[in-house]
Amino acid sequence: MRVTMSMLSERLRLNLMTSCDELLKAQHTATTGKRISTPSDDPIGAGKSLSLRSVLSSIDQYARNVDVANSQLSVTSAAMDSVVASVQQLRSLALSAASPALTTEARSNLAIQIDQIAKTLATTGNMQHMGKYIFAGSRSDAAPIVENPAGTPPYLYQGDSSQMSIRVGADSYVAVNVTGDRVFNIGSISAPGAPDIFTTIGTLRDAVLAADITTISAQLGDIDLNLSNMIATRSQVGERLRRLDQSREALLDAKTSTSELLSLNEDADLAEALVALRVRENVYEAAIGTATRLLSVSLAEMLK
């Protein structure tokens, strides 16, 4: 077959384009440090990278969920600290009120302090975080602890008993709330045999004003039952915070190991990449030189 000038030029053009393309790939690898930039570079490796990136995305979402849960539970923990402190103060006042030697004025002052504790507990029960009432369950748009117009019981619970959980791992969930009915023993739900803390406070106040030592002493038992429930609830919140810390550490370890796997799968060996680049540069320069010489000879032959 007779080789024409156009055939020779086309073959040289294709060879130069191939050499140039390989040089550009080598330059990209050496510059970015990545051996896989497009699926065509390594279809199997690209698929593995896609899977690893999906895992990293899930880990990042779980980490954000941990932060949200930690924020919610930290506020709840602080609120429970306040609740426990208030009821511990209530107990101290009840012990003081059990003394038959108190004057009427002293009892009146104690009753005022006891009433104030009820108001403090109601305020804490209506604490909000990010615009939501933390003790209201799923009905978090409205205050859960409200005064009862009828007077008995003194306060009503307007929330529900729903427990809200958030996903912090592939198969791990953490409850991020406690509900006011359980915290304050509404309907004796948490401490059977003892009335809710607000009813207990109301009975204690009336007994203090009436100097009814027997009733005051009886309320100490109800206070202790409510206090034990509150301390247990606070411990549950603390345990959830501890679990979140463990989840955060586990997610950090998982992200580190997954990132390392992704790097091993995608990253190029720098020394090899630089050697490959130099080889491609030499090949490209040789191809240009060869093409120049051949085209010069062919042109000279054509002009003879």
What tens digit of pLDDT does each residue of 183-230 get? 999 999 999 989 999 999 999 999 999 999 999 999 999 999 999 999
- Give the start-to-end residue ranges of the domains of the chain: 5-35+268-303, 75-260
Distance CA 140, CA 161 (A): 11
Distance CA 64, CA 166 (A): 11
Of the CA atoms within 13 Å of residue 281, those in its CB half-sphere come to 9
Q: In the predicted model, is pLDDT for residue 115 greater than 90? A: yes
Distance CA 197, CA 190 (A): 11
Q: In the predicted model, is pLDDT for residue 41 greater than 90? A: no
Strand partners, 174: 166
Q: Rounded mean pLDDT of 9-14? A: 66
Cα torsion through 199, 121, 118, 150, rounded to 10 = -60
Does CATH place domain 75-260 in 1.20.1330.10? yes
Rounded to 10 deg, the angle between the 5-32 and 270-303 helix axes is 160
Residue 264 has a pLDDT of 76
- Those residues whose C-beta lies under 8 Å from the C-beta of residue 114, and which sit 6 or more positions away, are 90, 93, 201, 204, 205, 208
Per mean pLDDT, which range of 46-60, 127-141, 253-267 is the poorest? 253-267
Residue 300 has a pLDDT of 47
Residue 299 has a pLDDT of 47
